[in-house]
Amino acid sequence: MAAETGHDVLGELMRGSLDHCVKCTICETFCPVSNVTPLFPGPKYVGPQAERFRVPREESPDASLDYCSGCGICTQVCPQGVQIAEINTQARAKLRKRTGFRLRDRIIARPDLTGRLGTPVAPLANLMLHSRLPRRIADRLLGIDERAPVPAFAGRTFQAWARKHRSPPAPRRVAYFHGCGANWYEPDAGRRTVELLEYLGCQVDVPRGQGCCGLPLQSNGMFEPARRYVRRLTRRLAPSARHGIDIVGTSTSCTLMLKREAREILGLDDDPELRMVSDHVYDICEYLLMLHDRGELRTDFQPLPLTVTYHAPCQQQGHGIGKPALDLMALVPELRVIENDATCCGVAGTYGLKTEKYEIAMDVGAGLFAQIAEARPDLAVCDSETCRWHIEQATGVRTVHPIEILHRAAGLSGPGH
Amino acid sequence: MSRHDAVVVGAGLAGLTAAVRLAEGGASVLVLAKGVGATHLSPCTIDVLGYDPEPVDHPRDALRRLVDARPDHPYRLVGADGVAAAIDWFKGCFADGPLSPYAYAGSVDENMRLPTAVGVLRPSAVVPETMAAGDLRAGGEVCVVGFRALKDFHPVLLADNLGRAAGVQARGLELDVSPEDRADVNALGFARAFDDASFRARVIGQLAGRLGAGERVALPAVLGIADPHAAWRDLEDRLGRPVFEVPTLPPSVPGMRVFATLRERLRRAGGRVILNVVVTGAERAGARIIAVRARVGLRDAVHEADRVVLATGGFASGGLELDSGWVARETALGLPVAGVPAPGDSRFRPGYFDDHPIGRAGVAVDGDQRPVGPDGAPAFDNVTVAGATLAGAEPWREKSGDGLSLATGHRAGGLMLAESGAHAGPAAVGMGG
Ligand SMILES: Cc1cc2nc3c(=O)[nH]c(=O)nc-3n(C[C@H](O)[C@H](O)[C@H](O)COP(=O)(O)OP(=O)(O)OC[C@H]3O[C@@H](n4cnc5c(N)ncnc54)[C@H](O)[C@@H]3O)c2cc1C
Ligand code: SF4
Ligand code: SF4
């Protein structure tokens, strides 16, 4: 899958990593999907093994690959550096090119488009999204599982709020990459992020016209539009990066997309604008902890006598930064944080929305859900929005971004929040 | 850039052991590793010393002889008492670990003889309780039970080979029971199934009336992953005879139990693990490392640390590398590698179990496990080396791999705690709840 623009060195290194596989089966023991369903033979099979048979210009013989959720855990645990999940994502794109893209996948892979369509008619759209009959129809006709969590349109966008907001000058300046989740569905979460960053001494730019990063398209095998999306987004973020302003994001999978995946998987490493943006992107907790490590983070948080669970989503773990949210929450007096011991909640972006995969997603998440239920927390905490929606639906426990905890501890949420 | 009291490089038995000890002793610990270590591959029996080169019956005595005869052997660093202390600590980890009451049995004083997956009796000192009834030193009657769907475990082959051992009478039996009646299930899939009483009942049902009065039952090491003690006890009770596990080919379920136990203890003690991170170098100030550099995706990260434990394994895990130009490299910190044959000299001998000249290559250390250069002077003051990275051992021939990694990892943690003035004594065991 070479980029249109030139020689794809990273892509070759990535595919070449399959030669390092020693068949140790470590990845198989960790794959959350193959551990719950026989429909998926596991990362070693569909990754380094099957890839040898996927010869350019020949049809791939193996469709089970479609059951890989792209969670990336196999790549994380492989001791030989095989980029299994990345190889799978590329192979899936080839497979889909042959089998064609389902209408369903075209829809769920474009959260900005659904957001744009749904927002002006939010009350009606939400009614449809959360009523039985329309969901059943969508299930039968499109293959979007009627039980899967779908977020409600906020009816107003974060961008609209940000356009009116003036961030006061401060010694440090950051740009906020808010992602589709905050823009269309959780504008209050976006606002809280800005408020917290300001409280912590940052002047916050919100670059206009930020669209989708293209990750859902990439996961669903639609590489061409994914490349267009990510390039459009990087054009919006590039001015900040050019001025040396760091870009922080609350959507952990989308920041990973800008950091790595678009360069490695979509073959865009030779795009100078993307590389510049990529070098300046941080997961927000990563960024705040970096400030803390340098002694530059305000830590006079108010006590928060709550019990929360924390789940580090697989995509967050893909950053290779540990669990900065835990260190940040540890700064809050009286907050009791129970770290979940789970790798994946199952939803993996759009995977768990699909009728044929919803039950797999629930089985994958079962261990996590049980831990949360057992802890009986006031809140569950998780960095990724699709995971939060999935966890909330499965457990009934309100699930928030770590930033919301810090926002409260900073005294910004006011009573009654 | 993060800051920790200790950065441990490597998440195998040596690295995790050192990390748990440090974290439970109060240090802030960050483990950085390319991936999971050999726990998931090796049976994770603590083989202290199996051959010298004859099969060893009493490892404590044999260890003394080994250290006298081979002053460059890494066991000199810990000695028999150090090994015994590490074993006590290791057993303690299970006592209040997530899989409790699952436990390890045995000691450094005696080797058992347990069957391998191909039916050879191998010397092992400390083994999962679920394997202990497989000690066939005194012979016995064994029915080896396998499963058609578990492709890498051949009960008849195992039994045939076992039958050649003195006093052992063995036969193989293959059952057609598998989770959800699937045709191909790996060891972990079976282990999950064995956690379920109804699956065990199916297995027991198939064995009813097919076992001889004096026969014990050997099963592949897949008897549970969430609660192996319960699964194993249930089988023993309901079959009315000793039941034991025989290690399988990878993935190793007993090894996963060890990983889960140490990982959970580390988590409880506040230690952190980051995988998919390749340590590529260090920043130094004089004789000390002040930070390690790591490759994370397309970026470099810097992790500051007061102390560094290097437990990156040997050639198999990529902790050591030998290029085609005979240049050996320690991959994480760039330490000197000792024991590499000179260019042009042979690296290997023809037989698999021969004494290969390259076999003892590794990082040479002083008495405090600090890496030394060719002149014998410490390369760094605040680095401690543990596990398969150490020069001088031949774990494959000696059958000493997991014993060495556990004992040197245990001591590495202890040395560092002692140095930092924290409490390193036995009371550190069992903390961290
Ligand atoms: C299939 C198999 C069967 C075995 N059977 C037995 C047996 O029966 N009895 C026995 O005693 N021994 C056995 N062994 C050997 C024993 O398991 C090992 O010697 C021992 O576990 C090594 O542990 P370790 O922690 O020293 O290294 P490892 O477990 O190899 O761990 C090394 C760690 O370092 C990481 N790493 C390496 N380089 C870097 C880097 N540059 N940056 C970051 N991380 C890095 C790796 O990812 C890994 O996490 C067996 C081994 C294997 C593979
Ligand atoms: S973990 Fe890596 S080396 Fe091991 S089987 Fe999987 S891909 Fe191959
Ligand atoms: S990306 Fe996740 S689901 Fe896909 S093979 Fe790897 S571990 Fe399994």
Match 């039968």 to its residue by tokens: A140
* pLDDT tens-place values along chain A, 417 residues long: 444 445 678 888 888 899 999 999 999 999 999 999 989 999 999 999 998 888 777 766 678 899 999 999 999 999 999 999 999 999 888 888 888 888 888 888 888 888 888 888 888 888 878 888 888 888 888 888 888 888 888 889 999 999 999 999 999 999 999 999 999 999 999 999 999 999 999 999 999 999 999 999 999 999 999 999 999 999 999 999 999 999 999 999 999 999 999 999 999 999 999 999 999 999 999 999 999 999 999 999 999 999 999 999 999 999 999 999 999 999 999 999 999 998 899 988 889 888 899 999 999 999 999 999 999 999 999 999 999 999 999 999 999 999 999 999 999 987 644
User: Structural domain tally of chain B?
Assistant: 2
Name which of B250, B257, B268 is nearest B90 in CA terms.
B257
Check which CATH number belongs to the domain holding B287 and give it: 3.50.50.60
DSSP symbols for B186-248: -HHHHHHHHTSHHHHHHHHHHHTT-S-TTEEEEEES-S-SS-HHHHHHHHHHHHTS-EEEE--
Q: What is the CATH number of the domain that holds B166?
A: 3.40.50
CA separation, residue A402 to residues A234, A283, A392 (Å): 26, 12, 15
Substitution target from A17, A22, A25 for chain B, most B beta carbons within 10 A: A25
pLDDT at B425: 42
Question: Which chain A residues are Cβ-neighbours of B299 within 8 angstroms?
Answer: 259, 279
Q: Is residue B105 situated within a structural domain?
A: no
Query: In chain B, how many H helices and how many E strands?
Result: 10, 17
Closest residue by Cα to residue A191 from A170, A172, A165 = A165
Token pair 């010393």 is found at B49
- Average pLDDT on B169-178 reads 96
pLDDT given at position B276: 93
Rounded CA-CA distance B179/B182 in Å is 6
Contacts B186 to A, Cβ<8 Å: 25, 28-29
Token pair, residue A223, equals 């590489």
- The candidate with the shortest Cα–Cα distance to A226, out of A46, A47, A3, A387, is A3
From residue B392, alpha-carbon distances to A40, B218, B363, B384 in Å are 44, 36, 9, 16
CA A95 to chain centre: 23
Domain span including residue B153? 132-246
Q: Which residues contact A260 (CB under 8 A, 6 or more apart)?
A: A278, A318, B297, B298
CB within 8 Å of chain A, chain B residues 250-279? 250-251, 256, 264, 267, 272-278
Give me A157's structure tokens.
Answer: 């966008």
Which residue's alpha carbon is nearest to atom 7 within ligand 3? A31
Decide: B332 in ligand 1 pocket, CB within 6 A. yes
Tell me which residue in B35, B180, B186 faces A28 most closely, judged by beta carbons.
B186
Half-sphere exposure for B25 (CA within 13 Å, toward CB): 28
CB B143 within 8 A of CB B218: yes
For residue A415, what pLDDT is reported? 61
Which is the closest atom of ligand 2 to the Cα of A84?
A: 7
CA-to-CA distance for B244 and A19, rounded, in angstroms? 37
pLDDT at B426 exceeding the cut of 80? no
Q: Is residue B54 part of a domain?
A: yes
Going by C-alpha positions, the residue among A219, A1, A216, A2 that lies closest to residue A92 is: A219
Domain boundary among B246, B280, B303: B246
- Asked if residue B223 belongs to a domain, the reply is yes
- Count, residues in chain B: 433
Strand order from edge to edge, sheet including A336-339 = A336-339, A307-311, A379-382, A399-400
Q: What is the three-class DSSP state of B31?
A: strand
Q: How far apart are the CA of A33 and the centre of ligand 3, in A? A: 7
Q: Are residues B241 and B265 in the same domain?
A: no
Q: A189 is written with which tokens?
A: 């979460």
- What is the C-alpha R_g of chain A? 21
Lowest mean pLDDT among A120-129, B193-202, B334-343: A120-129
Q: Is residue B262 domain-shared with residue B238, that is, in the same domain?
A: no
Domain end marker among B224, B246, B268: B246
What residues of chain A lie within 8 A of the CB of B180, using their CB? 38
Q: What's the pLDDT at A414?
A: 74
Shared domain check, B413 and B284: yes
With tokens 């003889």, the residue in question is B113
How many CA atoms within 13 Å lie on the side-chain side of A113?
A: 11
Here the tokens at position B425 are 């004594």
> Are residues B148 and B275 located together in one domain of the fold?
no
User: Among residues 358-387 of chain B, which lie with CB inside 8 Å of chain A?
Assistant: none
pLDDT-derived band at B1 (thresholds 50, 70, 90) equals: low
- The answer on B263 and B238 residing in a single domain is no
Q: How far apart are CA A22 and CA A17, in angstroms?
A: 11
My answer on whether B43 and B67 are in the same domain is yes
Q: What is the pLDDT of residue B295?
A: 95
Q: Which two tokens stand for residue B119?
A: 């039916």
Interface confidence, given as ipTM, is 0.91
**Short-list A155, A149, A162, CA closest to A116:** A155
Which residue minimizes the CA distance to atom 33 of ligand 1? Answer: B10
Pairing of strands A336-339, B2-9: unpaired
Structure tokens given for B3: 């800051």
Amino acid residing at A78: C
| A276 at B interface, C-beta within 8 A | no
DSSP code for B6: E
Can you tell me the distance from the alpha carbon of B242 to that of B140, in angstroms, rounded to the nearest whole number? 11
Same domain, residue pair B206 and B281:
no
Q: Are residues B207 and B272 in the same domain?
A: no
Please tell me the least confidently modeled range out of A180-194, B4-18, B297-311, B339-353.
Answer: B339-353
The Cα B120–Cα A269 span in angstroms is 52
- Establish whether the linkage from the previous residue to B251 is cis, with ω within 30° of 0: yes
The encoded tokens of residue B416 equal 């560092």
Q: From ligand 3's centre to the CA of A330, what distance in Å?
A: 31
Q: Are residues B234 and B272 in the same domain?
A: no
Looking at the structure, tell me whether residues B165 and B309 fall in a common domain. no
Residue with tokens 């396998």: B146
Q: Could you tell me the sign of the dihedral formed by the alpha carbons of A168, A169, A170, A172, in that order? A: positive
Distances (CA, A) of A308 to A252, A334, A394: 20, 11, 16
Q: Is B47 among the domain residues?
A: yes
Are B272 and B389 within one domain? yes
Q: Which residue among A73, A86, A364 has the greatest number of ligand 3 atoms within 8 angstroms of its CB, and so is best to mutate?
A: A73
Instruction: Tell me the mean pLDDT in the region B253-273.
Output: 96
Chain mean pLDDT for chain B: 93
Domains recognised in chain A with CATH numbers: 2-99 (1.10.1060.10), 299-409 (3.40.50)
CA distances to A240, A316, A360 from A246, in Å: 7, 19, 38
Report the distance separating Cα B66 and Cα B48, nearest Å: 12
Class of residue B425 by CB neighbours under 10 A (exposed 0-12, middle 13-18, buried 19+): exposed
Contacting residues for B384 by C-beta, under 8 A, at least 6 apart: B18, B307, B308, B309, B310, B368, B369, B370, B412, B415, B416
Sign of CA dihedral B329, B332, B334, B337: negative
Indicate whether B265 belongs to any domain. Answer: yes
Say which residues have a Cβ less than 8 Å from residue B20's Cβ, sequence separation at least 6: B93, B262, B265, B266, B269, B271, B413
Q: pLDDT at position A3, please?
A: 44
B100 falls within a domain: no
B335 alpha carbon to ligand 2 midpoint, in Å? 27
Residue B115 within any structural domain of the chain: no
In a domain, B287, yes or no: yes
Does A303 contact B at CB distance below 8 Å? no
How does strand B121-124 pair with strand A379-382?
Answer: unpaired
B273 and B399 assigned to the same domain: yes
Query: Which of the listed residues B246, B265, B297 is the one where a domain comes to its end?
Result: B246
